[in-house]
Amino acid sequence: MEDMWNVLKTKRTDFYEYHKAFRQAHPDKSTQIDDIFLAHGFFEDKNKGNKKWDVGEPIRDSNKDGKHDP
């Protein structure tokens, strides 16, 4: 718990900066840190966008077949 406060007590620009700081402080727990931030909607894209993949955007490849999943 004390480790968390070491990251949280520093004023940062946004939650992405906190995310990076947590991962830097605990690289062995990076997957769990990602899961916590995702579960709480920190990186949820709420913009509708153009509903198609554009160059430079990440893709979802859940089944690891190298193709974009809708």
Q: What's the pLDDT tens digit per position in 36-70?
A: 998 888 877 777 778 777 777 777 788 888 887 77
In a domain, 2, yes or no: no
In a domain, 26, yes or no: yes
In a domain, 55, yes or no: no
What is the domain extent for residue 29? 12-43
In a domain, 66, yes or no: no
The predicted structure's pLDDT at residue 55: 77
Number of folded domains that form the chain: 1
Q: Report, in angstroms and rounded to the nearest whole number, the Rg of the chain calculated over CA atoms.
A: 15
Judge whether residue 10 has pLDDT over 90. Answer: yes
Predicted TM-score of the model (pTM):
0.59
* 57 secondary structure, DSSP code: S
CB atoms within 10 A of CB 18: 17
Are 29 and 43 a contacting pair, CB within 8 Å?
Answer: no
In a domain, 29, yes or no: yes
In a domain, 22, yes or no: yes
DSSP H or E stretch at residue 4: helix 2-8
In a domain, 17, yes or no: yes
